[in-house]
Copies of this chain bind each other. A is one copy, B any other.
Amino acid sequence: MPGSPRHLEHPDADRIVLTDVLLALSDPARLSIARQLLTGPLEVAACQPVDGDLPKSTLSHHLKTLREAGVIRNEPAGRQRLVRLRRDELDARFPGLLTAVLGAGPGST
């Protein structure tokens, strides 16, 4: 059912724009969420920054920003929704970017 809430828009890999990705990851909460997705997909409800318990509306906004920038996919999986990092696509388009940003050490928020 395209257009239904279950199917959200995602930019094609070749339309992902670097400055959109940088802006999406420039927020500490969104950066923290993206880092947690390095180890695998998470249910939407489990997507929280490590140091926070954000209101659902704030979290939805962050996930929307990450999705529209092309950083994550948010797709139905059975009765749940799974959020996953678009790692392979981003690595192909911007080599080294995710490794540098998500693997950064000191001062990394």
Contacts and interface: CB of A to CB of B under 8 A. Distances in A.
Given A22-B22, A25-B22, A26-B26, A17 B109 contact: yes
Interface residues of A, number: 27
A88 interface: no
Interface of A: prevailing SS: helix
A42 interface: no
* Assembly stoichiometry (copies): 2
A93 to B, nearest CB: 6
Contact of A27 (B15, B19, B106, B107): B19
Nearest to A109: B19
Contacts of A22: 22-23, 25-26, 31, 101
A76 interface: no
A61 B90 CA distance: 30
Interface of A: 14-20, 22-23, 25-28, 31, 93-97, 99-101, 104, 106-109
